[in-house]
């Protein structure tokens, strides 16, 4: 076909992709997060937002809460040490997006604005609350990951599915929305 002569780069990428499929992890990371974290250090960004993430202001105590507990599960599954980084939510999202942190937890609710700032997991749970105007708002809860780390994203997603965060420990039954 004439396209083969005219689009050499496409053919090169396609060939590389096929060669790659044989040997390595797929999908893979741009910055090798999965490889670095496994049996290494997991850099976790935390922002206080109970009951999802509970920290003291000095950052001296181990964070607690639904998402902090789950990150300990993640670290255990990957045999990784956790390094907690305390940051306000906005800075936390920026650090995660740049890849300075491997995962950001702050009881994040998926919005268009947050979706643009960092790569988000699928919602692992959904809560709902009554607004003052009487309407019910659904809040899908997500975790933030660096852009383009698609292998890492799959690792996190698979564990989210296999061992979902324990919302029942921290949320009253009335607060738990449709899963």
39 binds other proteins (CB under 8 A): no
* CA distances in angstroms from 124 to 48, 58, 136, listed in the order given: 19, 29, 19
Convert residues 149-178 into a mask of x (bound to other proteins by CB under 8 A) and - (unbound): xxx-xx--xx--x-----------------
28 binds other proteins (CB under 8 A): yes
Question: Which residues face 139 on adjacent strands?
Answer: 127
The region of 43-51, 84-92, 125-133, 147-155 touching other proteins under the rule CB under 8 A is 147-155
Nearer to other proteins, 24 or 39 (CB): 24
Given its phi and psi angles, is residue 150 left (phi above 0), alpha (psi -120 to 50 degrees) or beta?
Answer: alpha
Number of Cβ within a 10 Å radius of residue 124: 20
Number of Cβ within a 10 Å radius of residue 119: 19
Q: Which of residues 92-131 bind other proteins (CB under 8 A)?
A: 112, 119-122
CA distance 128 to 62: 28
* Residues engaged in binding other proteins (CB under 8 A): 3, 6-7, 9-10, 13-14, 16-17, 20, 26-30, 32, 112, 119-122, 145, 147-151, 153-154, 157-158, 161
């Amino acid at each position: 076909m004439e396209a083969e002569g005219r689009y050499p780069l496409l053919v090169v990428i396609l060939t590389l992709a096929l060669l790659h499929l044989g040997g390595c992890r797929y999908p893979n990371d741009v910055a090798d997060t999965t490889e670095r974290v496994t049996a290494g250090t997991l850099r976790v960004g935390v922002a206080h937002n109970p009951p999802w993430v509970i920290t003291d202001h000095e950052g001296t105590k181990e964070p607690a809460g639904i998402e902090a507990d789950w990150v300990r599960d993640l670290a255990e599954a990957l045999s990784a040490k956790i390094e907690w980084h305390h940051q306000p939510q906005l800075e936390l999202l920026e650090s995660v997006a740049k890849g300075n942190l491997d995962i950001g937890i702050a009881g994040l609710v998926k919005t268009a604005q947050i979706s643009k700032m960092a790569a988000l997991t699928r919602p692992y749970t959904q809560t709902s609350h009554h607004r003052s105007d009487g309407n019910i708002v659904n809040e899908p809860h997500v975790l933030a990951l660096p852009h383009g780390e698609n292998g890492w994203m799959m690792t996190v997603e698979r564990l989210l599915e296999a061992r979902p965060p324990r919302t029942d420990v921290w949320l009253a039954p009335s607060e738990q929305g449709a899963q």
